[in-house]
Amino acid sequence: MIPIAKPQLGEEEKQAVLEVLDSGMLAQGPRVKAFEEAFAAMCGVKYAIATSSGTTALHVALLAHGIGAGDEVITSAFTFIASANSILYTGARPVFVDIDPATFNLDPAKIEAAITPRTRAIMPVHLFGLTCDMGPIMELAAQYGLVVIEDACQAHGAEYRGRRAGSFGTGAFSLYPTKNITSAEGGMITTNDPVIDEKCRVLRQHGMRRRYYHDELGFNFRMTDVHAAIGLAQLGKLERFNAARIANAAFLNAHLTGVIPPVTPEGQRHVFHQYTVRVKGGQRDALAEHLKAHGVGSMVYYPVPIHQQTFYVNELGYDLQLPETEAAAAEVLSLPVHPALSPADLETIVAAVNSFDEV
């Protein structure tokens, strides 16, 4: 079976971990610092703050901007649950806006109508490795005085008009094993604002500026040096990994029939965290079964939009319709696009998808 995701770990990662173990310094230390500096450089920002996961990166980024009870944060419902849950953790309420059906990302034309006096932030989610349409989003944010927290958990190295994901507002990245690079578990916050940088560092470590003096409620959201060592080795391979994903996606785009392939709008660099097609005519699940029978793994990201998740409906009272989000959830299927695919794997994927037309 060709898997939908496959972490690429080699000798560099193994060696880096062994060096940390031999050093005896396991907790947040010099490797974390080096990883933060290299990650900031990759994004083209001044500061990066490592955390324990993408979820904690989002949580801390929101708190660092003072977002909490009584506030509203505009985001997408067509994303992993962590985008919206991180908003809930602060006491704020996620306000869901529908997506652009062509890109699966927040539709900027629908954001303004969702802004209320309680709106404090917009959280664009750069889904599947494609940045949101950041031009109009940043204009709206400036016009209404809103903070922008980018959920860049799937968009390491993605670009919009020459600028990298995570460099528009405050960015949050995940380093989970299936992401474009991994540290096993881990996250990273990116910012150009020295005040936000400092706040994130304090929140990550129990609200502590001076050792054992606690000025505010913080957390243990630190990254270990073991994880940072893996992440740093992976970061050195990110460009190669992304180039392979982009080439694999170009091959699939050129050869697949019977499905609607993903689009890359002019002026953007899509890094294909996922290669996600649409399957019309209610045939999505049948295609997934057909692929499985032909040795091709696939996955639905995401079958249930957040506003329809049980907890959001039953406990939080969400009751709204997002037609494009709901249509996407019913039609999307992600195919393998990861850097470990061989030319033969790509041929197998194409043959399996294209033979579905004929069954």
> For tokens 């992993």, what's the residue?
80
Distance set, CA 65 to CA 3, 60, 62, 148, 182 (Å): 39, 9, 5, 10, 26
By CB under 6 A, is residue 298 in contact with ligand PLP?
no
Q: How many CB atoms lie within 10 A of CB 50?
A: 29
Q: Which residue is nearest to ligand PLP (CB)?
A: 54
Binding mask 192-221 for ligand PLP (x = CB under 6 A): ------------------------------
Task: Number of residues interacting with ligand PLP: please give it, by CB under 6 A.
Answer: 14
- The nearer residue to ligand PLP, 80 or 96, going by C-beta atoms, is 80
Q: Directed axis angle between helix 30-43 and helix 225-235, to 10°? A: 30
* Residue 285 beta carbon to ligand PLP: minimum distance, rounded to whole angstroms: 22
**Residue of 28, 75, 83, 167 interacting with ligand PLP (CB under 6 A):** 83
* Residue 83 beta carbon to ligand PLP: minimum distance, rounded to whole angstroms: 5
Restricting to residues 174-193, which ones interact with ligand PLP according to CB under 6 A? 174, 176, 187
**Segment interacting with ligand PLP (CB under 6 A) among 22-30, 31-39, 79-87, 311-319:** 79-87
User: How far apart, in whole angstroms, are the C-alpha atoms of residue 106 and residue 100?
Assistant: 6
Torsions phi, psi of 38, nearest 5? Answer: -70, -35
Q: Directed axis angle between helix 11-23 and helix 225-235, to 10°? A: 150
Between vectors from CA 220 to CA 216 and to CA 224, what angle results, nearest 5°? 140
- The nearer residue to ligand PLP, 306 or 346, going by C-beta atoms, is 306
**Segment interacting with ligand PLP (CB under 6 A) among 76-84, 135-143, 235-243, 330-338:** 76-84
Q: Is residue 1 a contact partner of residue 296, using CB atoms and an 8 Å limit? A: yes
- The nearer residue to ligand PLP, 108 or 231, going by C-beta atoms, is 231
Helices (H), 75-219: 82-89, 134-144, 194-204
- The nearer residue to ligand PLP, 78 or 356, going by C-beta atoms, is 78
Closest C-alpha to 60, from 152, 187, 157: 187
Restricting to residues 96-125, which ones interact with ligand PLP according to CB under 6 A? 125
Q: Which amino acid is at 177?
A: P
By CB under 6 A, is residue 82 in contact with ligand PLP?
yes
Beta bridge mates, 47:
191
**Segment interacting with ligand PLP (CB under 6 A) among 80-88, 238-246, 278-286, 341-349:** 80-88
295 contact partners, CB below 8 Å, separation of at least 6: 1, 2, 348, 352
Element (H, E) at 213: strand 213-214
Closest C-alpha to 325, from 347, 336, 343, 309: 309
Q: Which amino acid is at 56?
A: T
DSSP letter, residue 2: B
By CB under 6 A, is residue 328 in contact with ligand PLP?
no
Q: Which two tokens stand for residue 103?
A: 């890109």
By CB under 6 A, is residue 53 in contact with ligand PLP?
yes
* Residue 240 beta carbon to ligand PLP: minimum distance, rounded to whole angstroms: 22
User: How far apart, in whole angstroms, are the C-alpha atoms of residue 231 and residue 245?
Assistant: 19
* Residue 145 beta carbon to ligand PLP: minimum distance, rounded to whole angstroms: 25
**Segment interacting with ligand PLP (CB under 6 A) among 11-19, 48-56, 247-255, 315-323:** 48-56
By CB under 6 A, is residue 54 in contact with ligand PLP?
yes
- The nearer residue to ligand PLP, 125 or 287, going by C-beta atoms, is 125
Restricting to residues 130-169, which ones interact with ligand PLP according to CB under 6 A? 151, 153-154
The residue ranges that bind ligand PLP (CB under 6 A) are 53-55, 79-80, 82-83, 125, 151, 153-154, 174, 176, 187
